[in-house]
Amino acid sequence: MKKSVILGALTVAGLAAGAAGAATLDDVKARGKLNCGVTTGLVGFAAPDANGEWDGFDVGVCRAVAAAVLGDPAAVEFVPTTGKTRFTALASGEIDMLARNTTWTFSRDTDLKFDFVGVNYYDGQGFMVPKALGVSSAKELDGATVCIQTGTTTELNLADFFRSNNMEYTPVPIETNAEAQQQYLAGACDVYTTDASGLAATRAAFEAPGDHVVLPEIVSKEPLGPLVRHGDNDWGDIVRWTLNALIAAEELGVTSANIEELSAGTDNPEINRLLGTEGNLGEMIGLDAGWGKAAIAAGGNYGELFEKNIGENTPIALSRGLNAQWTDGGLLYAPPFR
């Protein structure tokens, strides 16, 4: 295998290496670092801060997994990926997991041989137009020129939406969000469409956000979540339950502030199992008993991560909406820890 790795690298760098690593958990432990694929930079979700440290909502998931597996939230090698390179990077084994605003779809889960382990943000595609156009519904956009980020599911939703409503449009495909913003503001397109969270982030960065409206229609379901390679179920379980641990922690009231106190033992057996003071959940997935505690302590529970990175007090200013706990009328529902 060694020799073929070297030669294989000549044809497709890294492809052969990926095939070698069937047990991702062992690889990560041996390496001492988790390779996590993120965006090249989307403020709030994953972007390097002023000190070059990666920060954001998706980054938080990576750090939690690193903390659960290696006990150190800083033991992450962040690999920036574009919409184009992300799947190749994961399939080839260059990264162990991908946390990059990736929509969970049937074909990606099956045909592309990936496993989505859950949803960390429920999104949907929306439209933004200048107020001056006087448009109040997406159904009035017949004949419009639409700026769209290429290489995303939004492209397909857009085609479907206009076709099903019997309307015409001119797509203006654009590589990055920053360019799209520039084109939209110069009036090279009438409409900008992307995930509603992205629209909110983009609009917040405008000089006069009040001159632009986000239309009420949400034309698609965009469940964004982390994913791993198909075929290594043990590794998939670890990432899935780390995400669930973050969600369950919010529901159970475990925060980064009170976690030390709670891990001394509580009356709630589920909290005890989650934090490893009772039962042997860690052993079942091949980790230490304190994996759940480490994951939550890394950046806080789901709610804390949300508030810190994209919540209402940040410039992105997203409300919880669908992403609230099921007890608050949202869709977040972690299966029981037992």
Contact letters for another protein, residues 215-234 (x by CB under 8 A): --------------xxx---
Q: Say whether residue 150 binds another protein (CB under 8 A).
A: yes
Q: Say whether residue 211 binds another protein (CB under 8 A).
A: no
Nearer to another protein, 186 or 264 (CB): 186
Q: Quick one: which of 23, 131, 136, 173 contacts another protein (CB under 8 A)?
A: 173
Q: Say whether residue 239 binds another protein (CB under 8 A).
A: no
| Shortest distance (Å) from residue 101 CB to another protein | 14
Q: Say whether residue 289 binds another protein (CB under 8 A).
A: no
Using only C-alpha atoms, what is the Rg of the chain? 21
Contacts 24+ apart (CB under 8 A), 4-7: none
Question: CA 306, CA 309: separation in Å to the nearest integer?
Answer: 6
| Shortest distance (Å) from residue 188 CB to another protein | 5
Residue 326 CB contacts under 8 Å (≥ 6 apart), including other chains: 332, 333
| Shortest distance (Å) from residue 182 CB to another protein | 8
Q: Say whether residue 152 binds another protein (CB under 8 A).
A: yes
Nearer to another protein, 135 or 274 (CB): 135
Q: Where are the beta strands (DSSP E) in the chain?
A: 34-39, 47-48, 54-55, 76-81, 97-98, 114-116, 121-123, 125-130, 144-149, 169-174, 191-195, 212-214, 222-224, 227-229
What are the angstrom distances between the C-alpha of 281 and each of 12, 239, 246, 265? 39, 14, 15, 16
Residues facing residue 222 across a β-bridge: 123
| Shortest distance (Å) from residue 181 CB to another protein | 12
Host H or E run for residue 200: helix 196-204
The token pair that represents 57 in the structure block? 């909502």
Q: Say whether residue 317 binds another protein (CB under 8 A).
A: no
Q: Say whether residue 207 binds another protein (CB under 8 A).
A: no
Q: Say whether residue 151 binds another protein (CB under 8 A).
A: yes
Q: Is the dihedral of CA 30, 31, 33, 38 positive or negative?
A: negative
Backbone φ, ψ for residue 146 (5° rounding):
-120, 125
| Shortest distance (Å) from residue 137 CB to another protein | 14
Q: Say whether residue 8 binds another protein (CB under 8 A).
A: yes
Contact letters for another protein, residues 110-149 (x by CB under 8 A): -xxx------------------xx-------xxxxx----
Name which of 230, 331, 268 is nearest 18 in CA terms.
230
Give me the residues that bind another protein (CB under 8 A), please: 4, 7-8, 10-12, 15-16, 18-19, 83-84, 87-88, 91-93, 107-108, 111-113, 132-133, 141-145, 150-152, 155-156, 158-160, 162-163, 169-175, 182-183, 186-190, 229-231
